[in-house]
Amino acid sequence: MPQTTAAAMIVPEVWGDMAQAQFTGAVRVAGSTAVIEDNTLEGAPGETIHFPKWGALGELDDLTEGTPMTPTAMSTDDATATIREAGKAVEITDKARLVSLGDPEAEARRQFGVLAARKVDGALIAQAQADETAQGGGNPLRFTTAAGKTKFTWLDAMIPAIGTFGDEWEPDDFAGLYLNSVQLGEAMADPQFVDANKLGAGASAAVTGSVGRIGGVSVFITNRVAAGKFLLMKTGALGLLYKRRPLVEDGRDILARSTVVTTTLHYAVKRLNDRGVTVGTLATI
């Protein structure tokens, strides 16, 4: 008996839901306690911001009875940061919008938000390590592990990093330790490392995005820190100043029958405390 089979029918193709584009690398420093955000530049003229600060006086002098004291002059210093502009644009034709799966404009807007956060995060991590002497600033604390100490461990890397802060070490004053994923296994294998899953949901040590703690400091993984390096940063060590926060705009091109969608942001980043950041480098051999 003749059968009507699927082969004789028009079988439409079936498509699943559109998958969102994925980006490599999470935002770790932007939005953390290592960063102080400031919006006072919004609406103000100029593209360079100045950071005045007082110079530190020396230690108290030993005095001799009857001998007048010698006054010491107060001093000030000034460091600067320049406004940066970043952005992205896409153009979507009417036909693409009408015949394609998904909503390309909505996806573009979603990706713009992710990209803006990633841009700022990368700028902050780079600035944490930068030589700012040309802008009136200085350098972060730096050190390299002893010869042959090529892995991140408590004894070989974390203790020397702590030592760079001298008597200013207090775990609660630190925003976090930032490691490349290459060093993640080394850190987790160290007896001093405490996995985030063991801290408990209500523990103050359980910080969003942290993989755990070592020496009482939250550990974050980001490949924006180069392999073989790590950052140990105090709370408020970095500044993020917005001239204008991320802005998304769209406009029609009626001749091309398309819509242009753009995003822009204007910001400045600055290391506010040179002694608030240590840049560690693991020995190569």
Per-residue model confidence as pLDDT tens digits over 57-77: 888 888 888 899 888 888 877
Higher pLDDT, 14 or 74: 74
Tokens of 12: 């439409």
d(C-alpha 277, C-alpha 173), whole Å: 12
62 contacts 247 by C-beta, under 8 angstroms: no
Amino acid at 230: F
Q: By mean pLDDT, which of 11-20, 66-75, 131-140, 156-165 is the weakest?
A: 11-20
Tokens of 47: 């593209």
Q: By mean pLDDT, which of 70-84, 150-164, 170-184 is the weakest?
A: 70-84
Judged by DSSP in three states, 89 sits in: strand
Q: What is the DSSP letter of 30?
A: T
d(C-alpha 278, C-alpha 156), whole Å: 15
Q: In which residue are the tokens 């702590």 written?
A: 162
Judged by DSSP in three states, 60 sits in: coil
Average pLDDT, the chain: 85
Sheet harboring 84-93: ordered strands across? 35-38, 238-253, 258-271, 84-93
Give ∠ CA 89-93-95 in degrees, rounded to 5.
155
pLDDT at 6 over 60: no
Q: Using alpha carbons, select from 169, 140, 152 the residue that is nearest to residue 229.
A: 152
